[in-house]
Structures are given as C-alpha cells and as structure tokens.
C-alpha cells in the first residue's frame, strides 16, 4: 500500500515486522504516520528518538526500503 496513506498503526505494524521491532513503541508515542516516516533521516532518528548509532542505522535501512519501494511504485 502507499506509505503516504499509512496511519500511525500501519507504521507500527510495519516496524514490528522488521528487526527494529523493539522500536515500534517509539513510533506510537511520537505519532509517526507514513508521511512522517518517509521524511525521517539518520540525524533526525538519532536526535529525536535518542537512539545509538547502531539501532539508528538499522532503522534507517528499513525506512530506506520503504522509500525505494514507494518511489519505484508511485513516483
């Protein structure tokens, strides 16, 4: 589905399906929907989510997967 239309619940569901599942609670608490997810960058993830570099990089890898699939299908 189009990530621009994802709700916070959709984003949390996606994160739970990745190796970043323990971070799903942060997405719920921060109200990150699909539009916000596509705007996340490594500096933002590190600073705003207060993550160490390792987990932040793994999370950004998952976000990049969504971005690549989005651009391939919708752009």
First-to-last C-alpha distance (Å) of the chain: 14
Predicted local confidence at residue 74, as pLDDT: 85
pLDDT tens track for 51-71: 999 999 999 999 999 999 999
CATH code of the domain covering residue 43: 1.10.150.50
Domain that holds residue 21: 3-74
| CA distance linking residue 55 with residue 69, whole number of Å | 22
Domain count, the chain: 1
Q: Cα 49 vs. chain centroid, distance in angstroms? A: 11
- pTM higher than the cut 0.75: yes
* Phi, psi angle pair for 33, to nearest 5°: -95, -175
């Amino acid at each position: 589905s189009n990530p621009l239309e994802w709700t916070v619940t959709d984003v949390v569901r996606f994160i739970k399906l990745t190796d970043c599942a323990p971070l799903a609670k942060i997405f719920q608490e921060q109200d990150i929907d699909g539009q916000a997810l596509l705007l996340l960058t490594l500096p933002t993830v590190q600073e705003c989510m207060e993550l160490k570099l390792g987990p932040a990089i793994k999370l950004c890898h998952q976000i990049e997967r969504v971005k690549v699939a989005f651009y391939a299908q919708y752009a």
